[in-house]
Structure 1
Amino acid sequence: MGVAIIPALLALAEQRDDIDGDAALTLITLGYEIAGRAGLALHATACDYHTSGAWNALGVAAVAARMRGLSPDQFRQALGIAEYHGPRSQMMREIASPTMLHDGSGWGAMVGISSAILAEQGFTGAPAITVEAAEVADIWADLGGRWVMTDQYVKPYPICRWAHAPIDGVREVMLANSLTHDDIAGIRINTFHEGVCLFQGVPETTSVAQYSLSFAVAAQAVHGRIGLEHVSGAGLCDAQVLAMIDRISVAESDAHNASFPNTRDADVQITLHDGRVLDSGLVHARGGSERPMPEADIITKFEEFAGPVLGAARTTAIRDAVLGLADGSSCLADLRAHLYDPVES
């Protein structure tokens, strides 16, 4: 959700006086709460699995409505417009043919902002059924009392979330037993149906690598981490990773199917060349509400991914500006200044 809500907030802020940290974080929370509940409502009522662009459109519309001072009726119209025009794209189509569509998030953000502006100008929309339908009333009943934002996750890896539990399972078994990839004869992954549908072969592009399962697990097993260099360029034809793919098998699990999409679990068994079989047990992916990532780990992840592109000084400045929103030492303009400057070549 943040991939749409935060860029939309930054764009909308260009037409506002400066926004302090408390106001910025309130707007982000508002966007997450509206988008998250709209997503839950869509999952509960739609017959197939849609991408996050659909509900991100409503979250962005809510942020824009708040920032532009829309009336309650204009806000209602904005949500109706955003839901109607939001990209209800089918997730499994993207899984079957990974490209640069990436969940329709960009279109969701554009629809959300456009919907608020249209409503402000008097355009009307059909009532948002993911908000107003009787069958989803329970999802909205505790708005402001229960925070669905706390149920979201931070990704440790630049890979589809559905692959994270298998990656973590391999990571943890290898760390606990001081293994290297040379010790491994085979890896069996048991996970839910949608995870099994992730790309299983050798990816030719970064987009395919990000929606892979066996390749991602192989990269973790070989390198002990998955960085940008592993899902792009020469990393896509790493001979050791490609050899490891051939040792990985994937199976669908009824138990993991039963818990999806509330959780995205897996278990793995690693067979060693000496004949031992090591079992991970049930694995909840790191970064979610079941296994939150410590703040220090989140910061380290940001620095690891941003540093090579932005440089150490600018990465540190962005980090400090983000953290300063919470303690009052920075405002949104401080962050925007560091984000908008061109990247030095």
Structure 2
Amino acid sequence: MNPDDLAEFVLGTPDVPESALDFAATLLIDTLGVTAGSARLDAGRIARDHAVRFLAAGTPAETATLLFDGRTASMPGAAFAAATQTDNLDAHDGFNPTKGHVGCAVVPALCALAESEPALSARDALTALAISYEVAARAALSLHATVSDYHTSGAWNALGVAALGARLRNLDADRLRQALGIAEYHGPRSQMMREIANPTMLHDGSGMGAFVGLTAVLLAEEGFEGAPAITVEADEVAERWGDLGQNWTVEQNYIKPYPICRWAHAAIDALGQLREEHGFAAHDVSAIDVNTFAEAAELFPGMPETTSHAQYSLAFALGALLVHGRIGPDQVTGKALSDPEIKAVVGKIQVSEDRRHSARFPEGRWSDVTVHLSDGRTMSSGDVNAKGGLETPLPHDAVKAKFLEMTRCLGHDRATAIWEMRDCLTEPDTRFAELLRLIHARPVT
């Protein structure tokens, strides 16, 4: 894409549809709910401690408060900590064609940057956020189309963070171009399928995506050069950027109902549908056959030793659903990881790739499930696409219920106050600082 045209979009006054701003507000609050819900996980604690010890700011003006913690670090350090924390509870939004996640990096970056801009209006913050979603999505599509490996979200959401930061810090067109080039060059070209095969706290690379993207902005601001970003400017990716400002992909992001890798959601939905229709329990099941797409078939197959294994699972997720009737944070942490009832179900599950499901990935996440009961009955779901996206969006009440479950650690009053900010963020007189005030202090439980 022509750098001047991109600069006009990122730094100018794009005509952001009201519906895009409204959904950006929902994505923002939903992501912050996941950040709160992951505050007690070891990955988040380690990332926050690391930011405080090793990524501190040089002056008070350059500090940012760690989300749901209260301590401070540099702006890149605070963004890294919150993005790493959020990334390690796999309940944040995503955009199917990117095979990854934008909000996990850009929301922490927005919160880190906005603290030094107390007069920033909520609408201006949402505009910057929506722009960052658009840039990150197209960087992802460009990267996936031009390299042989499947890289994690941090490799490309770093460019969304760079765009966000360039706008909020009033960089000019050349320094935006340099920031995007720096972010692309240093963004983590980490291997997604390695992490799927061996789940760890690295997760989807968004912690480093946020750190690199924000560092790129601050370096470019000082005159550091790093252009061009080839996933933006190369001729072979021009078509990926051709609809920028016309097709607002931020509205096409899905909201996850479960803290599990999106690839498993179709099978979860299919099994849940059968369970609701036929009323069977875990002890009634003799076998479960799952047909899914190739990538989902690679998810962790056994009983997890860590929450990272649990969140990148398929069989375990299905077992948790059958035993507990739901999949929330409590089902992917703590005692659930060694639950003997779940283990019994996991041993009855067979997962196979089906080429027709693979052909529909990444635009969709399709699976079908057949359940065999001990009384001889067999029931099949038919083909199911994961809910939460454009085809079957989560109802507003379901998004709210998810948020309140994720934020139980904050106490009812504080959680409710954060949720109610969603409707205020699009109002012209709301300052973004009103939201920041609610998301800095530690959880109460």
Which moves more between the two structures, 18-27 or 133-142?
18-27
* 1:110 paired to 2:110: no
Contact 1:321 1:331 in 2 (8 A): no
- In 2, the alpha carbon distance for the partners of 1:142 and 1:185 equals 50
Contact 1:321 1:330 in 2 (8 A): no
- In 1, the alpha carbon distance for the partners of 2:250 and 2:291 equals 28
Residue equivalent to 2:414 = 314
- In 2, the alpha carbon distance for the partners of 1:133 and 1:231 equals 42
Alignment coverage as a number of residue pairs: 344
Match of 1:27 among 100, 115, 128: 128
Q: What TM-score do you get using the length of structure 1 for normalisation?
A: 0.97
Contact 1:322 1:335 in 2 (8 A): no
Residue equivalent to 1:173 = 274
Match of 2:181 among 76, 80, 84: 80
Which moves more between the two structures, 289-298 or 324-333?
324-333
Q: What TM-score do you get using the length of structure 2 for normalisation?
A: 0.75
Aligned-residue offset at 1:295? 1.7
Letter matched to residue 193 of structure 1? A
For residue 326 of structure 1, give the secondary structure of its aligned residue in structure 2: coil
Match of 1:336 among 436, 439, 443: 436
Contact 2:121 2:429 in 1 (8 A): no
**1:120-147 deviation digits (Å, cap 9, x = unpaired):** 1111113111111111111111101001
Aligned-residue offset at 1:265? 1.1
For residue 189 of structure 1, give the secondary structure of its aligned residue in structure 2: strand
Residue equivalent to 2:308 = 207
* 1:96 paired to 2:187: no
- In 1, the alpha carbon distance for the partners of 2:233 and 2:377 equals 55
Letter matched to residue 265 of structure 2? H
Match of 2:111 among 3, 10, 23: 10
Letter matched to residue 126 of structure 1? A
Contact 2:118 2:432 in 1 (8 A): no
Letter matched to residue 431 of structure 2? C
- In 2, the alpha carbon distance for the partners of 1:118 and 1:25 equals 24
Aligned-residue offset at 1:329? 6.8
Letter matched to residue 339 of structure 1? I
The answer for unaligned runs of 5 or more in structure 2 is 1-101
* 1:300 paired to 2:406: no
Matches for 1:1-345 after TM superposition, within 5 Å: 1-307=102-408, 309-328=409-428, 330-345=430-445
| 1:172–1:268 CA distance, 2 compared to 1 (3 A) | same
For residue 322 of structure 1, give the secondary structure of its aligned residue in structure 2: helix
Aligned-residue offset at 1:168? 0.7
The answer for unaligned runs of 5 or more in structure 1 is none
**1:284-313 deviation digits (Å, cap 9, x = unpaired):** 111122221112211110101211x11111
For residue 425 of structure 2, give the secondary structure of its aligned residue in structure 1: helix
Give every structure 1 segment of 4 or more consecutive aligned residues whose post-TM-superposition deviation is greater than 6 Å. none
- In 2, the alpha carbon distance for the partners of 1:291 and 1:329 equals 33
Letter matched to residue 237 of structure 1? S
Contact 1:34 1:62 in 2 (8 A): yes
- In 1, the alpha carbon distance for the partners of 2:106 and 2:296 equals 26
Letter matched to residue 276 of structure 2? L
Letter matched to residue 217 of structure 1? L
Percent same amino acid among aligned pairs? Answer: 52
Which moves more between the two structures, 182-191 or 55-64?
182-191
Aligned-residue offset at 1:328? 4.8
Aligned-residue offset at 1:201? 0.6
**1:209-249 deviation digits (Å, cap 9, x = unpaired):** 11111001110122111011111111111111111101111
Contact 1:324 1:331 in 2 (8 A): no
Which moves more between the two structures, 249-258 or 179-188?
179-188
Aligned-residue offset at 1:20? 1.8
Q: Provide the alpha-carbon RMSD of the alignment.
A: 1.3
